[in-house]
């Protein structure tokens, strides 16, 4: 229990320091810290993840479209449409006959749709407050194709995330902290399942450092520790006597600015949840 209190205390102190540092009632807006304004931006990207062992191999390609529309200089709405292309191959050994059988499964699906908004205000830093909700379209047969019932489809989980981002500019460096809280609400009634209604919450804080090498190339490094609370079943308390858990993910990104309105890049992300899961991503952004 003492360790849990220490974790709570650490996140609380971190959040208070961010708010204290970024919000200054008497601060004036500095032109040098204002973000470039574009009426819209569209990002086309895909990530690749692969896991393998002696008995199975899994490939997953996840393309997505991410769009931001600026209604005003301070208020943006955004949405993201992610897809899934998954392929699994496994080998099963019959220890009586020593026969080896191979199973192959694939899944093509529109995973979900994500929509939200972001409000920006300026002090001595750039401050963003955002909220988004993700709805799992992939639970409906019209949005997926699969060859076997054994291939998992998207779970009926609605996600909501609320966060705050403080960005400091000290040319050629940009440093940002993004504490957030996310809720995962598993609603079996969406697919007429008899499973129980569950909810789970994750508190995280993304730490990012961007280095602008010149007008063309920039690189960024980020770490995101997350504190995962036990799953709650139908408001009746924690289910399965789960423990509090921690996860850690890191990302390295290299960005190239092709022109005033077009940029692209490549990133490597890895999550540590008992084992490392690497993921490569390639993206291109067009701004209007």
Q: Which tens digit of pLDDT belongs to each residue from 3-28?
A: 444 455 555 555 555 544 444 433 33
Rounded CA gap, 190 and 225, in Å? 31
Which of 253, 174, 257 lies closest to 215 in space, CA to CA? 257
Closest to 224 in 3D by CA, of 170, 172, 282, 161 = 161
> What pLDDT, in 10s, does the model give residues 27-68?
334 444 566 677 888 998 888 877 766 666 777 888 989 999
Torsion angle (degrees, nearest 10) of CA 210, 222, 125, 283: 60
Q: pLDDT digit string (tens) for 230-267?
A: 888 865 555 555 677 888 888 888 888 888 788 888 88
Asked if 126 and 35 touch (Cβ cutoff 8 Å), the reply is yes
**pLDDT value at residue 20:** 47
């Amino acid at each position: 229990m003492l360790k849990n209190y220490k974790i709570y205390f650490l996140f609380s102190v971190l959040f208070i320091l961010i708010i204290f540092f970024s919000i200054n009632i008497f601060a004036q807006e500095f032109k040098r810290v204002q973000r470039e304004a574009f009426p819209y931006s569209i990002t086309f990207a895909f990530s690749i993840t692969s896991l393998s062992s002696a008995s199975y191999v899994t490939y997953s390609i996840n393309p997505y479209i991410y769009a931001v529309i600026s209604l005003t200089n301070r208020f943006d709405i955004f949405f993201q449409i992610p897809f899934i292309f998954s392929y699994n191959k496994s080998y099963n050994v019959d220890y009586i006959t020593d026969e080896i059988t191979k199973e192959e499964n694939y899944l093509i699906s529109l995973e979900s749709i994500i929509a939200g908004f972001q409000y920006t205000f300026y002090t001595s830093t750039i401050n963003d407050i955002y909220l988004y909700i993700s709805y799992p379209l992939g639970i409906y047969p019209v949005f997926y194709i699969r060859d076997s019932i054994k291939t998992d489809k998207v779970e009926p989980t609605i996600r909501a995330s609320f966060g705050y981002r403080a960005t400091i500019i000290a040319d050629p460096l940009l440093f940002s902290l993004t504490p957030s809280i996310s809720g995962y609400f598993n609603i079996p009634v969406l697919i007429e399942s008899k499973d129980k209604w569950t909810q789970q919450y994750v508190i995280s804080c993304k730490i990012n450092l961007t280095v602008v090498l010149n007008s063309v190339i920039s690189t960024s490094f980020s770490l995101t520790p997350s504190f995962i609370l036990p799953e709650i079943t139908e408001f009746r308390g924690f289910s399965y006597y789960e423990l509090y858990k921690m996860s850690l993910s890191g990302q390295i990104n290299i960005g190239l600015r092709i022109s005033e309105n077009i940029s692209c890049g490549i990133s490597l992300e890895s999550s540590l949840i008992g084992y490392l899961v690497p993921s490569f991503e390639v993206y291109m952004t067009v701004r209007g």
